[in-house]
Amino acid sequence: MLMVALTVVVVVLLVIALLAADSAVKARKRVRRRRDATSRLAAAAAGAEAREQDRRVHQETSAALTSVMPAIYDRGPRRV
What does 40-78 look like in DSSP terms, one character per residue? Answer: HHHHHHHHHHHHHHHHHHHHHHHHHHHHHSPPTTSSPPP
- For the chain, how far is it from start to end, CA to CA, in angstroms? 120
Residue 62: φ, ψ to 5°: -65, -40
Q: pLDDT of 5-59, one tens digit each?
A: 999 999 999 999 999 999 999 999 999 999 999 999 999 999 999 999 999 999 9
pLDDT on residue 62? 83
CB half-sphere exposure, 57, CA atoms < 13 A: 6
Q: What is the residue extent of each domain of the chain? A: 25-57
